[in-house]
Amino acid sequence: MLFNSIDFAIFLPIVFLCYWYVFRQKVRLQNLLLLVASYFFYGLWDWRFLFLILASTIVDFFVGIYIARNNENPKNAKFGLYVSILFNLSLLGFFKYYNFFVESFTDMFQLFGYTIKSVWTLKIILPVGISFYTFQTISYSLDIYYKRINPTRNFLNFAAFVSFFPQLVAGPIERASNLLKQIEKKRSFNHDQIVSGLKLILWGLFKKMVIADSLAPIVDDIFANYPEYSSATLILGVTLFSFQVYGDFSGYSDIAIGTAKLFGIELMSNFKFPNFSRNVAEYWQRWHVSLSTWFRHYIYIPLGGSRVNKLISIRNIAIVFLVSGFWHGANWTFIFWGAFHAVAFIPVFLLGRNSIYKNSVVAQNSILPSIKEVFQVFITFVIVTFSRIFFRSESITDAFKYIKQIFTNVTYEVYAHPMGYRMIDYYILLAVFVVYEYIIRKDERNPFKFKSRTVRFLIYTLLIFIMLLFYDDGVDRSFIYFQF
């Protein structure tokens, strides 16, 4: 079930009303409802994969208890942890990476002149959201192992935590210390929280349906036919992809956070206006925050983080970015994308500028940014956008050919929309979007932070109006990050 579908528009109010009207007295019943609703929500994609979620839930629930029981016996605790990690990574490895490894293995032989016809590749469907919920359950076991949390003894609560439908298929990847704690506590109806959730849903839908969906046909066209296009068009293609993927994923995250709010649950922020980052380090503090912090807590810091010597720190950074790339997909394009970001991040780290923008935003105390900030934001956007050529290309060969074409076919042609629509509409749309995001850049949880109720109302109406203006019945509405 997609957030931007009529099915969800019917499903959500029903669950909401049952949650607050029928089951409001008992938190157990509310959690049971959340679990049933989540399994129904997920089962509409493919009910068979519910067994994977259930298996992951059962294993980690008992492993969690086992680790806590063996607190005094590190060997046993470690064994429990390994069971959890191995089980979840095996699921991920089989469904997501099996074919990649087989193909890479046969390709490697070809490189040395041997031709092996692969007979081991399988027709495997990637279960939606597997990368997200497996990481969430691994973090649960790790947190218990590191004694950050105590395991829950309530299976229902744990199952609801693993499968909580707003964030099940594409995050934010939550930690038990935040989400499970809220699931265990009684929630009370909070009007302001619900209104804030509805606002986030509206803003998320706008980003998805207007920014991402309307740019998708243009990006698809340019990336599919890149050998025919001039450098100007190719730059346009990847720039628009930058906005598309941002609109798509941050839109999804906003809807997820907003939906969770409707049930009295606060999820962590996943996007904090990454397009206004002043260096690559700040970008990673603003883009897909839940994944970045996951890697930071469970890979970077255990490896020594930045408290070791510079060389080891650089190695740690490289590992994190390579793993992050690999997490995104079983394709060399993602590994190159990760490597590219590592290369872009390391100089910032060496200059000691990786944390300087941690608690501030561009033009923190002024209306307009300084020239220096404009330049920094522009350079960061260019670097990040350039890396997206790897992210979007079908293969690593295509990515390099795309880049080569940018530098060799240096010409300018006016790009015509593949369906014949006016391109100027899209340029105006993006300009307005960037300006609006700049205005609201200080609070990603409140996209309509205006004092006047009339102004807020007019903005809601205008957003819906623009949604109609850019609505396309024929477009594929699924979210990009569902494939990861």
Partner 1 sequence: MKKLILKIPLYLILMLLCLELLVRIFHLAKDTPTRYVDDYQVEKWEPNQNGFAVTGNRRQNFSEYRINSSGFNSYREFKSTKENFEIALVGDSFIEGFHQNYYNSIGKKIEKKLDTVSVFEYGYAGYDLADQLHLIHQYKEQFKNVDKVILGLKYENDLFRSKYQIEKSRLALNTPLNRMLKKSKLLVYTKSIGALNPLLNFINKIKNFRKTKTTIIKTATTIDVEVTARIANLNALIGLYGFNKTKYYFLLDETITPKLFLNYLDQNGYKYISIGHKLQQSTKNTTLIYDMHWNNLGREIIANEIVRYLNSENKDVLKMNNR
| Catalytic sites, residue numbers | 328
CA angle in degrees (0–180, nearest 5) for 419-423-428? 140
Are 205 and 251 contacting, i.e. CB atoms less than 8 angstroms apart? yes
Closest separation between CB of residue 462 and partner 1, Å?
8
Which of 111/468 has CB closer to partner 1? Answer: 468
Mention every residue, 6+ apart, whose C-beta is less than 8 A from residue 408.
231
CB of 203 to partner 1, least distance (A): 15
CB of 189 to partner 1, least distance (A): 6
- Cβ proximity to partner 1: between 352 and 474 the closer is 474
Q: How far apart are CA 85 and CA 40, in angstroms?
A: 27
C-alpha torsion 333→334→336→337, nearest 10: 120
How far is Cα 204 from Cα 217, in angstroms, rounded to an integer? 20
User: Least separation, in Å, of the C-beta of 464 and partner 1?
Assistant: 6
CB 357 within 8 A of CB 281: yes
Query: Minimum distance from CB of 243 to partner 1 (Å)?
Result: 19
Task: Name the residues that contact partner 1, by CB under 8 A.
Answer: 5-7, 10, 20, 189, 191, 194-195, 419-422, 425, 457-458, 460-461, 464-465, 468-474
* CB closer to partner 1 out of 72 and 473: 473
| Min dist. Cβ of residue 369 to partner 1 (A) | 32
195 vs 301, which CB is nearer to partner 1?
195
How does 26-42 read in b/e, with b if 16+ C-beta sit within 10 Å? eeeebbebbbebbbebb
Q: Which residues 6+ apart lie within 8 Å of 207 measured at CB?
A: 246, 247, 248, 250, 251, 254
d(C-alpha 321, C-alpha 349), whole Å: 13
**Cα 281 to the center of its chain, rounded Å:** 17
CB burial of 328-347 (b: ≥16 within 10 Å; e: otherwise) equals bbbbbbbbbbbbbbbebbbe
> Shortest distance, CB of residue 315 to partner 1, whole angstroms?
50
Which one, 86 or 195, has the nearer CB to partner 1? 195
Q: Is 276 left (phi over 0), alpha (psi -120 to 50) or beta?
A: alpha
> Which of 195, 351 has the CB closer to partner 1?
195
49 or 426, CB closer to partner 1?
426
Element (H, E) at 16: helix 6-17
Query: What is the closest distance, in whole angstroms, from the C-beta atom of residue 473 to partner 1 in the complex?
Result: 3
Q: Which is nearer to partner 1, 421 or 450 (CB)?
A: 421
Q: How many CB atoms lie within 10 A of CB 190?
A: 12
- B/e letters for 424-459, b = 16+ CB within 10 Å, e = fewer, are eebeebbeebeeebbeebeebeebbeeeeeeeeeeb
Q: Is 392 exposed, middle or buried (0-12, 13-18, 19+ CB in 10 A)?
A: buried
**Which of left, alpha, beta for 2 (phi over 0: left; psi -120 to 50: alpha)?**
beta
| Residue 72 burial (10 A CB sphere; 0-12, 13-18, 19+) | exposed
